[in-house]
Amino acid sequence: FDYNKPKWPVPYRRFDRRPDVDSFCEAIYPFCPTGDRDGRIPDLRDSDVISVYRLQTPVWEFKYGNLLGKMNIMHDAIGFSSSETGANFTMEWYELFQLGNCTFPHLRPDVYAPFWCNQGAACFFEGIDDLHWSQNGTLEKIGEITGKQFNEMARWVQNDNQTGIYYETWTVRSDPGPNATVWFESYDCSQFVHRTYRKLSQLGAKLSSRTQTNYTKIYLYSGEPAFLGNDSSIFGQPAL
C-alpha cells in the first residue's frame, strides 16, 4: 500500500491484452458493424487539416429516438473530417453487449460468482450520420488538428483499446453532496471522449465548445468500500 497515493477513487484497472469474449454473452446489435475488424485507423497525411466534432445523442437513439434523451441518458462520440480527402469518420466507445449487461451481472447455474458480459471497446468507422447526432443531440465543430496529431491520437486509441477493456456504468460515491468521496469512477463512452480530448490537448490541439456540455452519470451511493478478495476467494468455485 502506497501511503503517498490517495486511496480513493480506486484507479481503473488496465490489462495487458483484451481477452476473448465468452460465448454466453450475446449482443442484441452487432458491435461496430462498419468498423475495421482489427480496430485499425487509417493514416492521414501529416499536413492534412482535420476538423474535430463533438457528437452527442440519446442512448439507443437509432431505435427509440429521443426517449432516453428525455431522461438525459446520452451517448458521446467524436467526429473527424479530413480537408484533403473530404472523408468523415466517427469514433466512439461503447459496450459489446449493450448497457444492461454492463450495469448488472448474470447469475448462472453452473457459475458461483456473478457473471459479467461487460466488455467495452472503441469503434472507428467511416462516415458521420449527421441526422443521428443532430436531430436529438449535438453535432458541433470544436476545433481543427493536423494529420500528424490525428495519427498520434490514433496510435494512442489503439493502445487504450487494448488495455482498457471493461465498461463500468456506475459512478460509486459516498453521498449526493458536493464534498462526496468518489469510490469508483465510471468507465463509459463519455470517459473515452474526455481521455481523447485530453490526449489531443497534450498533442497541442486547441478544442473548445460554444455551449455547456453535460455528460450522463448514474450514481451508486455507498459507505466506504472494503476489499473482500477476488471471485474465487469470495464465491469459492470448487475445482471442476
Ligand X SMILES: CCCCCCCCCCCCCC(=O)OC[C@@H](O)COP(=O)(O)OC[C@@H](O)CO
Known catalytic residues are 75, 189
Cell 496510435 belongs to residue = 155
Contacts of 226-232 spanning 24+ positions with Cβ under 8 A: 231/112, 231/113, 232/113
By CB under 6 A, tell whether 216 contacts ligand X: yes
Contact status, residue 175 vs residue 85, Cβ threshold 8 Å: no
The reply on whether position 75 binds ligand X by CB under 6 A is yes
Q: By rule CB under 6 A, what count of residues binds ligand X?
A: 15
| 218 near ligand X, rule: CB under 6 A | yes
* Interface mask toward ligand X for 79-118; x: CB under 6 A: -------------x-xx---xx--x---------------
Q: Pick the closest to residue 80 from 45, 49, 47, 34 (CA basis).
A: 49
Is there binding between residue 60 and ligand X (CB under 6 A)? Answer: yes
Nearer to ligand X, 119 or 149 (CB): 119
For 146-184, give the secondary structure using H, E and C: EHHHHHHHHHHHHHHHHHCCECECEEEECCCCCCCCEEE
Comparing CB distances to ligand X, the nearer of 119 and 146 is: 119
Interaction site with ligand X (CB under 6 A):
59-60, 73, 75, 92, 94-95, 99-100, 103, 169, 188-189, 216, 218
